[in-house]
Structure 1
């Protein structure tokens, strides 16, 4: 399933986009775009796909996504068949990185927001008090213009820059990209993983890359990522497997070995652990989206 690029029309007198989506169902296909996006579901239920994440949405669902991250919201059959009690409704905000100028994110006050935006390349489902505060602001923005509208967006930025109430959605391996900036040990390790995850990677060789003893490296890595190195490597491999399952006709065995697993049973076990479904079930869900 190939994603397509979708661009929303923007009013000449506005620096970012806010609109209310309303209809029998959400019509957008599996797509991506260069803007950051906030999606607040007002009414409707269904399945959402963000990168290789497959989950379910309902009223109040709030997700923030970074540029070029493929995604789609697929309504339940009652909406698709016109049998729901009311329309599907959502509020969507699109903004580009430099919509307030090239240097906006480089001023000191924006550092916490920059850190949050780095996370959005995997997509985040927001929860708790964060979700309630942002929802109140987004619902009011639909009828605003000018400085008031911009002020509400800046208030949302302030909330997001401080929050810990979120779940990361897509796995790091699905993104298939390496952050070229930074020369610290983590950047070097991540680059090595993303270039070599389809081969055998041992702890001693990665620890040596970081100029650490194996035990020191394991402790350092878990402190940084909150999971072990092996667990992180498996999330990268499973993320790439999801790309292959959704975008190619490779069989399950080819996918497993193409992602660095040398044992099919272990691949199936790890895939179900991370995605709560088997590789075959994942491909079936993705293929359903082609028909939708």
Structure 2
């Protein structure tokens, strides 16, 4: 999880293109932009306080440092993740503006062809041309209003602090009680605040982070199930297996087996 956030937060001229099916990712934030296009099926997308069920031809334009999550059991999508340095003119334009929504729909064969053919190995001019095409379409679909009082899509510092704490500590002891003491907030208040803002409790969020990391390790390493459970913050294999089944609908062993069968 930290790898995901850091990867999309550190590097200038950063660009990633992904085409995936049935993809989910818990709440997170980073300094990059994201553009999401649904090719088929549907996906529940949360951006700050707005939640939308996205369907075919729906798009989402996510700004740097916006808190967002993706949840889908049956969908196919294209996702671009790119640093602000790629679209400096657009970033400057929206510096003191607020967009009416992150979501829009478009049926444009030219755009779809660009999305389907663009590759991160393409030359920088082709990449930036495609990204500015996306920005241009989004600007036409969305209303931007002057917003001099606060930065675009600024979000409560408390929620960012809670999410950052969880992402930094989910592999070890991760206690909302400890965080509430550190931030000088009442535990009951901070617990209710997080649930109100996200729709889930803090422990569920921490387990989402742990299981998401476990899925990555099951896919990309040959580590044993026991080692993965320990590295993801679980003190017992039983607790790990129970939570894995809850979030993924199968055991860690079967999950890895299914991945191997796809190769």
Please give the TM-score of this superposition, normalised by the length of structure 1. 0.49
CA distance in 2, matches of 1:288, 1:160: 43
Partner residue, 1:280: 253
User: 1:212, CA displacement in angstroms?
Assistant: 1.0
CA distance in 1, matches of 2:193, 2:138: 33
1:256 aligns with 2:229: yes
Give the SS at the match of 1:200: coil
Q: Which moved more, 1:214-223 or 1:188-197?
A: 188-197
User: 1:192, CA displacement in angstroms?
Assistant: 2.5
Partner residue, 2:90: 104
Partner residue, 1:234: 207
2:168 to 195, 200, 210: 195
Consecutive unaligned residues of structure 1, counting only runs of 5 or more, are 1-32, 40-46, 67-89, 117-125, 163-181
Q: 1:285 to 1:186 in 2, by over 3 A?
A: same
1:247 aligns with 2:227: no
> Does the 8 Å contact 1:38/1:64 carry over to 2?
no
CA distance in 2, matches of 1:197, 1:92: 26
> Does the 8 Å contact 2:90/2:135 carry over to 1?
no
CA distance in 2, matches of 1:205, 1:35: 36
User: 1:277, CA displacement in angstroms?
Assistant: 2.4
* 1:65-214 superposed matches below 5 A: 97-100=84-87, 102-108=88-94, 116=102, 130=104, 133-134=105-106, 136-137=107-108, 139-141=109-111, 154-156=136-138, 159=141, 184-214=157-187
Give the SS at the match of 1:241: helix
Summarize deviations over 1:63-104 as a string: whole Å, max 9, x none: 7798xxxxxxxxxxxxxxxxxxxxxxx99989764444x242
CA distance in 1, matches of 2:247, 2:220: 19
Tell me which structure has the larger Cα radius of gyration. Answer: 1
Partner residue, 2:7: none
Partner residue, 2:190: 217
Summarize deviations over 1:13-36 as a string: whole Å, max 9, x none: xxxxxxxxxxxxxxxxxxxx9436
User: 1:263, CA displacement in angstroms?
Assistant: 2.5
CA RMSD of aligned residues (A): 4.6
CA distance in 1, matches of 2:81, 2:168: 32
Partner residue, 2:15: 35
Please give the TM-score of this superposition, normalised by the length of structure 2. 0.54
Consecutive unaligned residues of structure 2, counting only runs of 5 or more, are 1-12, 27-38, 42-55, 63-76, 115-128, 145-154
Aligned residues: 188
